[in-house]
Structure 1
Amino acid sequence: MPKPYTIRLFILDGNPNSLKIIDKMNWTGIGLEVSRDSWSKHKNRKEFDQAGIYILFGYAEDSDLPVVYIGQGDGIRTRIDSHDKNKDFWDKVLVFISSNNGLNRAHITWLEWSLIKKAQEINRCKLDNNATPNEPILTESEKADTQEFLNEILSILPLVEIRVFEKAQKMHVSNDEQSKNKNIRDTIIVPAQEDGFKEVFLKQNSWYAIRLSAGKLKDIKYIAAYQTAPVSAITHYAEVESIEPYGDGGKYKINFKGSARKIGPIVFGNAKKGTLQGPRYTTFEKLQKAKELNNL
């Protein structure tokens, strides 16, 4: 069962975007979050001489999901120095070490293996690791202690805005009790280019990565696809089954109850240029009656 806990953040130089030192009561570990642009300033700290585990975190231009690299080392400084020269995507690094030098090579390799395995299972990030290490052999007591160290790391990560190791919680949508207020905009219209429309909207019965305000989540019951030029029309819609977080940046994935159905087409018509460069909302009643975008 989850239990309450307290985490302390020490902002060494008064800038929360530079260096955070993280600890918990009765934990033998220490966490450090360092931004990439301040790495050269803080890298000579003694903590980076020790054995530990680290997580590089950032975004790449070709991915809606955050990009993560998980590594370990007997001395972390040289590893991160190398990544500073050779990896472009990351903008911060999370480092976890033992406060009493209690982690050895087997422990940190097990932590690396476990975090990579968890990230692969959860699938909320793009892993930059080229290979997955084999699970190292630990004694029963060592494995229990290292698992507890891992649990402490996982309890800290969401509080420094890294949620890629948490299973996304789906919000299931029900249409059994339709709102009596027909003015509620219960349908989201999303622009879709040809490849994404065919491979995701039609084949995967889903759509992502959509930035939604929390206040709209409870209202969305349907999704419609506006195919961009040369089609330039809304051609399909689907009933929404569930909505879940996608990645780690406030975006969502919408899952359909079944295959998308044809509608319209509802043509662009005389709508203003740029009308559907991003998601838009309407009512399902209007969607069923519309002939062109201005009707929505």
Structure 2
Amino acid sequence: MSKPYTIRLFVPDGDPSTFKIIDKMNWTGTGLEISREGWAKHKNRNEFEQAGIYILFGYQEGDDLPTLYIGQGDGVRKRIESHEKNKEFWDKALVFVSSNGGLNRAHITWLEWALIQKAQNIGRCRLDNSATPNEPILTESEKADTQEFLNEILSILPLVEVKVFEKAKKIKVSSQPSDIKRNILDTIIVPAQEDGFKDVFIGENCWYAIRIGGGKLKDIKYIAAYQTAPISAVTHFAEVESIEPYGDGEKYKLNFVSSAKAIGPIKYGRAKQGILQSPRYTSYDKLQSAQELMDLFD
């Protein structure tokens, strides 16, 4: 059963975008969030001389999933200093050390191993780690204490916008028909290039990464694919079984009930240029009767 807890944030230089110290009541650890830009200013703090675990976080160009590097060191400063020169993807680093000097090499190696395992199992990020360490041997009591330290880290990370260690919670889509009288926009039309359409929409029976406003999530029941030029038409649709967060941002993955079905095609027709550069909403009834794109949105 989840327990309530208190997190305290301290911003030493008054700029929360560059450096924060994270403290949790009744915890023997300290967390630090530091931006890449703030590293040069704050890297000489005593906390970075200690043994600890760190997570580098950022995005590779063109990737919807964040990239992480998980590491550890007897003194994390030297490790992050090296990564500043050799790894371009990261925008911020999360560092966790003991507030009483209680972490040793075995503890931090176990934490590194456990975080890598969890990230791989959850699958909401890309890992920049080239190798996965073996689980280090700890005594029963050491493992229990280190597991508790890990639990504290995992409770803090979502509060600093790192959610990739949490299992995505699927939103089950209702099978009840939409209330036509309320004109609910229950269908999302997504632009799809040839490779993505064939590999994902048809091949995986899902679609990602879609930005959907929170107020729309409860209404979505169907998804349709607009194949970009040279086809330039809506050609397939599918019933949505569930919706789940994708990656670490406000984007979602839609899972289909079954394989997509052919429709139309609903041709571009008199639509204005750029009308489907991003997802748009319509109703299932309009999708079934439309002859061209503007019939979906009139």
After superposition, the C-alpha distances for 1:66-112 in whole angstroms (9 at most, x for unaligned) are 11110000010010011101111110000000011110100000000
SS at match of 1:210: strand
Match of 2:6 in 1: 6
Match of 1:265 in 2: 265
The whole-number CA distance in structure 2 between the counterparts of 1:64 and 1:144 is: 36
Residue 270 of structure 1, CA deviation: 1.2
Match of 2:220 in 1: 220
Match of 1:154 in 2: 154
The whole-number CA distance in structure 2 between the counterparts of 1:177 and 1:106 is: 56
Unaligned runs of 5+ in 2: none
The whole-number CA distance in structure 1 between the counterparts of 2:4 and 2:144 is: 21
Match of 1:68 in 2: 68
User: Once the two structures are aligned, what percentage of the paired residues are identical?
Assistant: 74
Match of 1:254 in 2: 254
Match of 1:34 in 2: 34
The whole-number CA distance in structure 1 between the counterparts of 2:281 and 2:156 is: 36
Match of 2:22 in 1: 22
Match of 1:174 in 2: 174
Match of 2:97 in 1: 97
State the AA in 1 paired with 2:229. Answer: A
The whole-number CA distance in structure 1 between the counterparts of 2:73 and 2:130 is: 17
State the AA in 2 paired with 1:27. Answer: W
Residue 159 of structure 1, CA deviation: 0.4
The whole-number CA distance in structure 1 between the counterparts of 2:123 and 2:179 is: 34
Match of 1:56 in 2: 56
State the AA in 2 paired with 1:252. Answer: Y
Match of 1:144 in 2: 144
The whole-number CA distance in structure 2 between the counterparts of 1:81 and 1:224 is: 47
Is 2:167 the partner of 1:163?
A: no
State the AA in 2 paired with 1:266. Answer: I
The whole-number CA distance in structure 2 between the counterparts of 1:24 and 1:206 is: 39
State the AA in 1 paired with 2:100. Answer: N
What is the aligned residue count? 296
Unaligned runs of 5+ in 1: none
For the aligned residue pairs, the C-alpha RMSD in angstroms reads: 0.8
SS at match of 2:210: strand
Match of 2:295 in 1: 295
The whole-number CA distance in structure 2 between the counterparts of 1:294 and 1:178 is: 22
Equivalent residues of 2:210, 2:252 under 8 A apart: yes
Residue 176 of structure 1, CA deviation: 2.4
* TM-score normalised to structure 2 length: 0.98
SS at match of 1:272: coil
Equivalent residues of 1:57, 1:93 under 8 A apart: yes
Equivalent residues of 1:182, 1:283 under 8 A apart: no
The whole-number CA distance in structure 2 between the counterparts of 1:26 and 1:285 is: 56
SS at match of 2:181: coil
Match of 2:234 in 1: 234
* TM-score normalised to structure 1 length: 0.99
Match of 2:131 in 1: 131
State the AA in 2 paired with 1:274. Answer: G
Residue 294 of structure 1, CA deviation: 1.1
The whole-number CA distance in structure 1 between the counterparts of 2:250 and 2:69 is: 20
The whole-number CA distance in structure 1 between the counterparts of 2:25 and 2:220 is: 42
After superposition, the C-alpha distances for 1:108-144 in whole angstroms (9 at most, x for unaligned) are 0000000000000000011111110000000000000
